[in-house]
Amino acid sequence: MLIRKLVSAVGATMMMVILFSILDQSGVGLFFGLYILPITFIYGIPSSILSDFLTRRSNGAIRIVSGALLHIFLGALFVALPTFIFDAESGNWINSVWNNSFFFVTAVVSALFFWFFDEAIKSEWFGHLRGKCLWFLKRIGNMRV
């Protein structure tokens, strides 16, 4: 499970780097990736493990939807909680989160990418695709010079 979470974290970070590189073509995507990857490892992997733990008894679409909502909630909580704690003197917490909307949206989108990669790796389709790729790589390995 930990390997699946590590692969999901790297995949989510790569998708965020690609997204930032498309939105701002000055190379800022790699800069943000340097900050997103450790955050995803330190906060995202335990959050995803918690999400799997909380949804382990449900099946099918209920598990998928509740897992997605938990990932979104925990991703939003990563920005909202420090904002609520450190901007408490202003009294308007919604406005404080709105002022940090870039970080809020980045955390939520990154959490969705993490969830998507995690669910994709768990799926039967991915297992079938992995088997085909391993067969192809084995065939390439047999063609040694």
The per-residue pLDDT for range 48-86, each reduced to its tens digit, is 999 989 988 888 889 889 999 999 999 988 888 887 777
Residue 57 vs residues 61, 63, 64, 67: alpha-carbon distances, Å: 12, 8, 12, 12
Report the mean per-residue pLDDT for the chain.
83
Residue 134 vs residues 4, 5, 6, 40, 143: alpha-carbon distances, Å: 17, 21, 20, 28, 14
CB-CB contact of 100 with 124 (8 Å): no
Residue 10 to residue 8: CA distance in whole angstroms: 5
CB-CB contact of 30 with 21 (8 Å): yes
- Interior angle at CA 91, CA 90 and CA 95, nearest 5: 80
pLDDT digits (tens, 9 = 90+) for 79-128: 888 877 777 666 666 666 677 778 888 899 999 999 999 988 887 777 77
